[in-house]
């Protein structure tokens, strides 16, 4: 019996990683684009990519394959200090 296959979990992880890569690629194209109409088309595609990524995350969370946690006040303050110091 061959067990080298993607199950549902692996497929969702692969889709999630692909959506993240697509998002980065579309964003880079938007940043380099000089045509307003073309940029608008890419922005719409980018937004759809973000929606699909969220759908995949929700499907993974529903199955217990992706756990998120709310940031605590300490975490938030640490990030505020980190970004405040990087802008000075």
Domain map (residue ranges) of the chain: 8-87
Strand residues in the chain grouped as ranges (E): none
What local confidence, expressed as pLDDT, does residue 1 receive? 53
Residue 36 burial (10 A CB sphere; 0-12, 13-18, 19+): exposed
Q: Give the tens place of pLDDT for each residue, 17-57.
A: 999 999 999 999 999 999 999 999 999 999 999 999 999 99
Q: Treating both helix axes as pointing N-terminal to C-terminal, what angle do 36-62 and 8-32 enclose, rounded to 10 degrees? A: 160
Q: Give pTM, 2 decimals.
A: 0.72
Give CA–CA dist 27/24, Å, rounded. 5
């Amino acid at each position: 019996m061959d067990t080298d296959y993607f199950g549902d979990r692996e497929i969702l992880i692969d889709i999630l990683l692909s959506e993240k890569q697509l998002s980065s690629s579309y964003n880079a194209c938007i940043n380099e684009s000089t045509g307003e109409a073309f940029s608008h088309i890419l922005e719409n595609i980018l937004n759809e990519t973000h929606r699909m990524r969220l759908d995949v995350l929700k499907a993974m969370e529903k199955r217990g394959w992706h756990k998120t946690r709310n940031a605590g006040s300490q975490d938030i303050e640490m990030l505020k200090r980190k970004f405040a110091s990087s802008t000075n």
